[in-house]
Structure 1
Amino acid sequence: MATAGRKSVLFVCLGNICRSPIAEAVFMKMATDAGVIDKWVIDSGATSDWNIGSLPDARGLACLRIHGIETDHRARQVTREDFMNFEYILCMDENNLSELNRKAKLVKGYKAKIELLGSYDPEKQRIIKDPYYGSDEDFEKVYDQCVRCCKAFLEVNS
C-alpha cells in the first residue's frame, strides 16, 4: 500500500461508515488543497465487519457535501497488512484504540503508529463520538473535530 517516499495514514472507527470516512475525505481535501496529495496514501477502515462494502452514512455524505467534499469510499475492515503498510493508524475513540492495539499484537513486527485522531486536536477533545444514533448536528460536530485534527496532523507531517 504505502510506497517509497510517501507517507500513509489509515483512519479507523467502528463501522467505517460515519467518522473514519469523514476524516479520510477531509484529510484528502486538505492534502489536495495543500498540493501534497501525491505524497500521501490515505484510506479508512473499520474495527468491525458489519458494513463491509457499504457507502458512508447518508447523513455523513450530506455533511461533507455541504462543505464541498465528495467521497466514493466503501467500508472495509482493517486487515493485518494495514499494520505493516500504514505509517499512521488514527482512530476515533478508546474502544477503537484498544481493539487496534489488540489486533496489532497479532502482527509480528508491525510498523504502524496507532493513535487517537483526537490527540491532534488543538481544543483537546480527544474522543470523536460516534454520531450514528445522533442527529445531523452530531455529524457536523464530527466534521469540525476532523477538520481541526486533520489540519494539525498534516502540519506535523509536512
Structure 2
Amino acid sequence: MAERSHKSVLVVCLGNICRSPIAEAVFRKRVADQNVSGDWRMDRVATSTYEVGNPPDYGGQSCMRKHGIPMSHTARQVTKEDFATFDYILCVDESNLRDLNRKSNQVKNCQAKIKVLGSYDPHKQLIIEDPYYGNDSDFELVYQQCLRCCRAFLEKA
C-alpha cells in the first residue's frame, strides 16, 4: 500500500464495469504521462454488488484499446476501509453520490472527500451517463468526458 503522504483517488460507478474502469484507466494513463505515478494510489469500485467479480464491459475495453490505454480489473464493491484510506472518492452521478454519502456516514474515520467526477468537467457536464446499454459512441463519450475531468482534477489536486 502507498505511503499516506501520497495522494489517492477512488473512482466509483454503479457496477464497476463501465464508467469507473474507464475513468481509472484514463487517470492512471494521465499520471503515468506526467511521471507522477509514484505519487498516486488509484482504484475503482462499485456501489452495488451487481457485477462483483466481473471484468470490464467489452465496450469499455474496446474503447480503451482504441486509445491505447490498458484496462483490466475485477469489479468489487466499495468497503468501509475505502472511506478511511482514500483522499478522494469520485463518482459518476448523483445516485452514486447519495449511496456513497450514506455509506460514509457509517464510517467513523472517513477521510475521503466525496465528489462527482463531472464537477471537474470544464464543459460543465456533471453526470457521466452509463453507456452499458449503448454503443461504441456512448463509450467514446464517457472516455472523452473522463479525459477532461481527470485532466482538470489533476490540475487542482
What are structure 1's unaligned runs of at least 5 residues? Answer: none
Once superposed, what is the RMSD of the aligned Cα atoms? 0.8
The DSSP-based 3-state class of the residue aligned with 1:28 is helix
Aligned partners of 1:61, 1:109: CA distance in 2, in Å? 35
Aligned partners of 1:3, 1:23: CA distance in 2, in Å? 23
| TM-score normalised according to structure 2 size | 0.98
Given that 1:2 and 1:86 are in contact with CA atoms closer than 8 Å, whether structure 2 keeps it comes out as no
1:72 Cα offset (Å): 1.5
Q: Per-residue displacement from partner, 1:100-125 (whole Å, max 9, x unpaired)? A: 00000000131100000000000000
Aligned partners of 2:116, 2:2: CA distance in 1, in Å? 21
Given that 1:63 and 1:139 are in contact with CA atoms closer than 8 Å, whether structure 2 keeps it comes out as yes
The DSSP-based 3-state class of the residue aligned with 1:133 is coil
Q: How many residues align?
A: 157
Listed as ranges, the matches of 1:1-158 within 5 Å are: 1-157=1-157
Larger displacement relative to structure 2 (14-23 or 64-73)? 64-73
What are structure 2's unaligned runs of at least 5 residues? Answer: none
User: Structure 1 residues 2 and 114 mapped into 2: Cα distance closer, same or farther (>3 Å)?
Assistant: farther
1:91 Cα offset (Å): 0.2
| Paired letter, 2:31 | A
User: Structure 1 residues 4 and 109 mapped into 2: Cα distance closer, same or farther (>3 Å)?
Assistant: closer
Q: Per-residue displacement from partner, 1:117-137 (whole Å, max 9, x unpaired)? A: 000000000000001011111
Q: Which runs of 4+ in 1 moved over 3 A?
A: none
